[in-house]
Structure 1
Amino acid sequence: MHQNPLRDIPHYLSTFQTYLGPRIYLVFGLTLMAALAEGVGILMLLPLLQGLDTGTAAEPTTGAAKLLHDLLASLGLANSTVVILLVITVAFIAKGALTFGALGFNAYLRGQLLRELKVRLFDDYSRMSYGYYAHNDTGHFINLINEQITQTLQSFQFLTQLGSQLINSIIYAALAFIVAWRFGLMALILGLMLLFLFRWINIYVRQVSRLAAVENGNLAKLLIQFLHAFKYLTSTDQVGPIRSKIKISVVRLTGYQIRTGVAASFTQAVREPIVVIFIMLLVLIQLVLLQQPLAPILVSLVLFYRSLSATVALQGNWQQTLNLIGCLELVRDEFIAQDKHRVSDGTQFAEPLRQGMSLCDVYFSYESSLGDVLKGISLDIPVRTSVALVGESGAGKSTIVDLLTLILKPQRGQVLIDGVPGDQIQLASWRRQIGYVSQETVVFDDNIANNICMWAGDISKDQCLMDSVREAARQAHIDHFIETLPEGYQTLVGDRGVRLSGGQRQRLFIARELFRKPNLLILDEATSALDSESELFIQKSIDALKGRITVVIIAHRISTIRNVDHVYVFDQGRLVEHGPYEELRDSNDSRFGKLVAMQAL
């Protein structure tokens, strides 16, 4: 960016034009017409003032007054004071109507911009790569889509007001120049001097704005971390350290706001004194030194006052724009980053799984400096079979699952879905076939029914939907608990299911995935939070799906995989052995057999 913020105005306008198109310039067109209408009304004061003494307009001999007199004479209105007053009235009414149109259209554009930015950014987030998501914290995303876009909207408002003030300033200065060119020339020079004098404030305000935008994200991150860990932090009286970090962030933010507030106060305080001083100096020069006639000076004085006021207001709007420009730049940069990190989608529609899935000599690493997480993995998962992925933490089991869902892409090798390479598959068509239950439960702040059916409809009005929800709850062994609640399936579970126990949250999560009737069900430590009785019922539900859908299970507890068709054992990113459960269990030199023996099965 240039050091001089004024040079970046076209760039900022083009940023908004990206989302609104050329419609934004209609605001400036309406403002231009409103300024011209007001200028006509002010110019009509010239013949009015010249004819005050005699009751009729005295014919001038030179300058803008003569041109205006000749124009009125050609229309037969040169000596009609009433008509001149009527023209002035109509001009200001037209100015009011055009100003209303400009402001109203500006409000419409702000609404369109807010919708466009928030919806587009959410859509980008839904398509961003998992790697980009993993490298940024939750506060970063929430700060951008919530706080920074709202601030960007305000920067758009101030920027359009800035354009309007610039137009007004130019129109009034030009008309003042026409009426009394020496007066207008001095007005132009003084206006440029004002903008130059405020240049250092503008640079300072933009720097502070950028710092404040970044700090907003940091504060959002800290607050989210505090709320997510609220139970742990309060239970162990460890709120103090994170409170200190939040306090530091708040102090920084308030410091930035104080600085920009002081700068805005200075601009506001000097506005009127500067205008009055400059006007008095110019009038004195016109009357005493240049000995100009009074009537043109009075009309030019009005125009100059309007021009200089618009110039000072322009500085105020520009300062307010720069106060929020950090937000605009942050949002702009996020859209650019999203374009770079968007998941590429294939074109081939994934039909319901018919053959199975395969990994062919797959290598994968999250960071090249950390080495490969998976090293030459090849395996097959035939359709409607159940397989277990077994190994110590960090062996690469969850990474394999992420490759199967096509969230991650291998650096080398291929992931095949029914023989089709993963990068050629239309992602949505494949992922709609997947049910995924992880150890970290996903529960929404809504009622139990909506958590199971994901807002597929109203269970109180749709009996078929209600039956499907009940069946999923029964399979997940949570129906008995739900029916004991006063509000049943309409019971609100709170943020992240805080009103439920850990086991209840997990069973609710499982019920949702069973409700979807997936072709592939992935269970990543899905029963780790369940008691033994609930785990037994869930195991029976999973066993009941055997032969009907494809099931992939990651589990440390061997009891949950006793009935699978095939077991894959991993160690430090390598597939070290695989085979049927009983065969591996009974093998004397099997790593899996030793693991089973350790768990005393």
Structure 2
Amino acid sequence: MSTFRDLLGYLRTYRRYIGRRIYLVFVLTIATAFAQGFGITMLLPLLRASQSGGPAEDMGTAEELLYSFLELLGIADSMVGILGLIAFIFIAKGGLAFAKGGYIGYLQSRLLRELKTKLFDAYSRMDYRYYIKQNAGHFINVINGQVNQFFQSFQNFTGFLTQAVTAISYFGFAFFIAWNFALMAIGVGLVLLFLFKYLNAYVRRLSRMRSREMSELNKLLVQSLQSLKYIVSTNQTAHLRTGVLGSVKRLTSYIFKQRIAGAFTSSLKEPVSVLLIIGLIIVQVTVFEDPIAPIFVALLLFHRGMQAMISIQSGWQQTMDKIGSVEMVDDEFDMVHKHREETGSHVLEPLHRSIELDNVSFAYGEDEDHALRGISLTIPANTTVALVGESGAGKSTLVDMLTLLLKPDTGTVEIDDVPHPEIDLNSWRSQIGYVSQETVVFDDTIANNISLWQGNIEDDPELRDRIHDAAKRAYAHHFIEDLPNGYQTVVGDRGVRLSGGQRQRLFVARELFKRPNLLILDEATSALDTESERYIQDSIDALKGEMTVVIIAHRLSTIKNVDYVYVMDEGEVIEEGPYTDLRNHDGSRFQEMVEMQRL
């Protein structure tokens, strides 16, 4: 019963992603198996016709029914007619098998597409607070490794289903011809399946452990590759290798044990089938003394049925081999849905009044200190505002509040007087440009990095002009033109073919291409040389009054021209005002910070 419950459970899981189309697989499988079993069964009247030329006196009920069917077709006494019918049945069976195989292939490709697309969409909509508590390696493992294993499990499941229906069909026709012979065969087969129950449970446990270990290994590999420069430069490879090697050993151990279990099942296929057939023939001939023709056809059906029944075990075991991935992907959908970001329905117009935070407090976890404490501030539209403070003061968290990636635990964020719970988040975020210290550059052309694949500049002059204009405003046009292929230059993985300053200006160009209403610069120049910083600073200064700009800066020299400054410390705004007023306010924290940088 537990196997049957598992079967229904996995069927419901597959149906969740494929829909009712999966039931057509059942219909085609049943039709194919019936045609195959019926075609073999028609050998019985063919053998009778070849021996006696007509109906025999010792015919059983099954043969009488078959003979009556052939009489209806007018071919009961014609070997040529019966052969023609058998040929027609197997041609039809071939057509059905092709239709079934093609349809399963269609469902498999659809399943893979649905899983990857839906997971990507789910990850895109998950709550940011949940995301930052997870590991990137886990997400990569699920959407690539585990989804591919899920796909394989469906392939194995349809193979199992085919063998199960085929076995039922063969044994059904065998039962129709010689019920006592078939009954013994089915009984032996069920005993075998019961004995394999414990092996299936063992394989399922291995599958779950393998899925968890794959997730851990992916996490280690992603972290190692992301930190490769540091690891190699400081000769830390040996320490990380120990962890990776341990995970690889555990993973390969689970895979080896699964393969041993599969090999054990496959090795039993022929010996068990042959031994059972020999034993049943002896019983059938010596005990029941049945005629040889029904025994021969039932034997053929039984042999095919036994092959299918043992393949059922193999197919189910292969399905169990991947079931840990099915469960992991299914649980991932449930978990991400549980932590889905909530959004309102109010579609915002372009920012034209202000962004306001009213007594906003926030902590990343229940047991953690507040990252923001009672923040109240106003950023008028089309002004340039700076957030300054020591590391850990809460500046980046505050910016995440402005984008509504994070929501206040208490207090309200209002965009043009609309409280954040009511805001359609996409309508707000589509107005935002974001430039961080860690540049986001894709392994593609300069043009595609700026436009994010909105079209081909060779075919769209208007798009080309927009890209060039954004690059000029970011002081990037000249260095791009100097590249071998200009805007069609491929920049390499993470922009490796560009300097740090060039990557940052390319990043700024992309955000300006979007024509945002709010531009956030999160320490965008802190890692740049003086010349590159000047280019970025000139670009920022040129935007003043054109859009709302929020700057997080450690180098206070970059915020001299802003309209307003907020000084933060330990999650609170401790000072605020124009740059000059704060700079000249004796004893202020801002003045102390300026003097420390000797501005």
TM-score by length of 1: 0.97
Q: Could you tell me which residue of structure 2 aligns to residue 144 of structure 1?
A: 142
Provide structure 1 residue ranges, at least 5 long, that are not aligned to the other structure. Answer: none
Alpha-carbon distance, 1:315 to partner: 0.8
Q: Distance in 1 between the 2:368 and 2:535 partners? A: 41
**Map of 1:17-56 to 2, 5 A cutoff?**
17-56=15-54
**Map of 1:409-424 to 2, 5 A cutoff?**
409-424=407-422
Q: Distance in 2 between the 1:458 and 1:329 partners? A: 42
Q: Distance in 1 between the 2:404 and 2:303 partners? A: 65
CA distances 1:90-128 after superposition (whole Å, capped 9, x unpaired): 111111111111111111111111111111111111111
State the secondary structure of the residue aligned to 1:373.
strand
Q: Could you tell me which residue of structure 1 aligns to residue 237 of structure 2?
A: 239
Task: For 1:330, give the aligned amino acid.
Answer: M
Alignment equivalent of 1:575, drawn from 558, 573, 577: 573
Relative to structure 1, the CA distance from residue 92 to residue 388 in structure 2 (aligned partners, 3 Å threshold; closer, same or farther) is same
Q: Could you tell me which residue of structure 1 aligns to residue 200 of structure 2?
A: 202
CA contact (8 A) 1:48 1:57 kept: no
Q: Distance in 2 between the 1:108 and 1:284 partners? A: 46
Alpha-carbon distance, 1:235 to partner: 2.4
Alpha-carbon distance, 1:6 to partner: 4.4
In the alignment of these two chains, the number of paired residues is 599
Task: For 2:457, give the aligned amino acid.
Answer: I
Q: Distance in 2 between the 1:302 and 1:60 partners? A: 21
State the secondary structure of the residue aligned to 1:377.
strand
Task: For 2:301, give the aligned amino acid.
Answer: L
Q: Could you tell me which residue of structure 2 aligns to residue 264 of structure 1?
A: 262
**Map of 1:124-139 to 2, 5 A cutoff?**
124-139=122-137
Alpha-carbon distance, 1:59 to partner: 4.2
Q: Could you tell me which residue of structure 2 aligns to residue 182 of structure 1?
A: 180
* RMSD, matched Cα: 1.6
Alpha-carbon distance, 1:215 to partner: 1.6
CA distances 1:49-98 after superposition (whole Å, capped 9, x unpaired): 23433333324454212222233334443322222222222111111111
CA contact (8 A) 2:445 2:488 kept: yes
Q: Could you tell me which residue of structure 2 aligns to residue 518 of structure 1?
A: 516
Aligned identity (percent) is 54
**565-574 or 220-229, which deviates more:** 220-229
Q: Distance in 2 between the 1:515 and 1:7 partners? A: 55
Q: Distance in 1 between the 2:197 and 2:258 partners? A: 14
CA distances 1:306-338 after superposition (whole Å, capped 9, x unpaired): 211111111111111111111111111111112
CA contact (8 A) 1:60 1:69 kept: no
Q: Distance in 1 between the 2:80 and 2:244 partners? A: 68
CA distances 1:476-511 after superposition (whole Å, capped 9, x unpaired): 233332222222222221111122222222222112
CA contact (8 A) 1:59 1:66 kept: no
CA contact (8 A) 1:152 1:328 kept: yes
Task: For 2:284, give the aligned amino acid.
Answer: Q
Q: Could you tell me which residue of structure 2 aligns to residue 275 of structure 1?
A: 273
CA contact (8 A) 1:215 1:249 kept: yes
Q: Could you tell me which residue of structure 2 aligns to residue 93 of structure 1?
A: 91
State the secondary structure of the residue aligned to 1:368.
coil
Task: For 1:57, give the aligned amino acid.
Answer: P
Q: Distance in 2 between the 1:377 and 1:139 partners? A: 35
Q: Is 2:463 the counterpart of 1:465?
A: yes
Relative to structure 1, the CA distance from residue 488 to residue 298 in structure 2 (aligned partners, 3 Å threshold; closer, same or farther) is same
Q: Could you tell me which residue of structure 2 aligns to residue 170 of structure 1?
A: 168
Q: Could you tell me which residue of structure 1 aligns to residue 366 of structure 2?
A: 368
State the secondary structure of the residue aligned to 2:322.
helix
Provide structure 2 residue ranges, at least 5 long, that are not aligned to the other structure. Answer: none
State the secondary structure of the residue aligned to 1:537.
helix
Task: For 1:240, give the aligned amino acid.
Answer: A
CA distances 1:10-69 after superposition (whole Å, capped 9, x unpaired): 111111111111111111211111121122222222222234333333244542122222
Task: For 1:212, give the aligned amino acid.
Answer: R
**539-548 or 198-207, which deviates more:** 539-548
CA contact (8 A) 1:37 1:91 kept: yes
Q: Distance in 2 between the 1:222 and 1:279 partners? A: 53
Relative to structure 1, the CA distance from residue 560 to residue 173 in structure 2 (aligned partners, 3 Å threshold; closer, same or farther) is same
**509-518 or 426-435, which deviates more:** 509-518
Task: For 1:408, give the aligned amino acid.
Answer: L
Q: Distance in 2 between the 1:184 and 1:311 partners? A: 13
Q: Could you tell me which residue of structure 1 aligns to residue 345 of structure 2?
A: 347
Q: Could you tell me which residue of structure 2 aligns to residue 433 of structure 1?
A: 431
Q: Distance in 1 between the 2:3 and 2:138 partners? A: 26
Q: Could you tell me which residue of structure 2 aligns to residue 69 of structure 1?
A: 67
Q: Distance in 2 between the 1:483 and 1:75 partners? A: 82
State the secondary structure of the residue aligned to 2:51.
coil
State the secondary structure of the residue aligned to 2:229.
helix
Task: For 1:381, give the aligned amino acid.
Answer: I
Q: Is 2:9 the counterpart of 1:11?
A: yes
CA contact (8 A) 1:506 1:529 kept: no
Q: Distance in 1 between the 2:478 and 2:98 partners? A: 62
CA contact (8 A) 2:40 2:297 kept: yes
Q: Distance in 1 between the 2:140 and 2:3 partners? A: 28
Q: Could you tell me which residue of structure 2 aligns to residue 396 of structure 1?
A: 394
Q: Distance in 1 between the 2:161 and 2:510 partners? A: 53
Q: Is 2:482 the counterpart of 1:484?
A: yes
Q: Distance in 2 between the 1:89 and 1:445 partners? A: 58
Task: For 2:211, give the aligned amino acid.
Answer: A
Q: Distance in 1 between the 2:529 and 2:59 partners? A: 103
Task: For 2:562, give the aligned amino acid.
Answer: V
CA contact (8 A) 1:384 1:546 kept: yes
CA contact (8 A) 1:356 1:418 kept: yes
CA contact (8 A) 1:403 1:409 kept: yes
**93-102 or 62-71, which deviates more:** 62-71
Task: For 2:590, give the aligned amino acid.
Answer: F
